[in-house]
């Protein structure tokens, strides 16, 4: 090879003829794994934040609407953890994760109806599981579905869920605008001096 010639190295081959050190497909796979890991970390942080907020609100809500006792506060704390993990895990990792493309393909109305039904079912199951844990009575699982306190718990859950979804949507929109470079500084306009002074 002449001194001025360049060595042509094919993708996946090292110049010294050693083992391949990178390939196009491997780079895409590694990039996909890195992106997936970053998204998972973001969703886990979001879930942890939601759990923290819920664990503050639900004990206070239970004390105000059930009975001002430590048992009611503990029940609210446990319900908040279980329901948030179940419902939040579904919304973050299933609805907005693994099945996101499928939910987008079914249409807005079907998406809304289906997700509302799933979230309601998960809320009822999580609440029932919390009552079974605190009372130690498996019969409370079915009995919780006819609990009179649902008249307060359901609107409270709906309000918290809608508020959290709204905050997440605003945050996602803000990150998208920053990523796309839409948050640019306002231009500074200098008007000419009518006196002609420099």
- 90-121 tens-digit pLDDT: 988 888 888 888 888 888 788 888 888 999 99
Enter the pTM of the model. Answer: 0.66
Select from 132, 126, 123, 112 the least CA-distant residue to 155: 123
- pLDDT tens track for 135-172: 899 999 998 998 888 899 999 998 888 888 777 777 66
CA distance 34 to 49: 23
- In the predicted structure, residue 183 carries a pLDDT above the cut 50: no
- The CA angle 49-50-53, to the nearest 5 degrees, is 90
């Amino acid at each position: 090879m002449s001194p001025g010639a360049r060595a042509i190295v094919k993708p996946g081959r090292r110049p010294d003829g050693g083992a391949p050190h990178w390939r196009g497909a491997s780079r895409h796979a590694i990039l996909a794994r890195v992106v997936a890991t970053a998204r998972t970390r973001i969703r886990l942080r979001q879930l942890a934040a939601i759990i923290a907020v819920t664990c503050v609100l639900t004990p206070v809500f239970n004390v105000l609407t059930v009975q001002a006792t430590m048992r009611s506060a503990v029940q609210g704390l446990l319900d908040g953890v279980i329901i948030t993990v179940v419902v939040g895990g579904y919304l973050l990792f299933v609805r907005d994760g693994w099945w996101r493309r499928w939910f987008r393909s079914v249409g807005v109305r079907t998406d809304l109806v289906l997700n509302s039904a799933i979230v309601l079912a998960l809320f009822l199951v999580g609440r029932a599981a919390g009552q079974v844990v605190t009372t130690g009575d498996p019969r409370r699982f079915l009995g919780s579905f006819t609990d009179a306190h649902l008249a307060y718990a359901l609107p409270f859950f709906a309000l918290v869920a809608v508020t959290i979804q709204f905050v997440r949507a605003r945050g996602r929109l803000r990150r998208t605008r920053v990523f796309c470079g839409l948050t640019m500084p306002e231009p500074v306009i200098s008007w000419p001096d009518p006196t002609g002074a420099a």
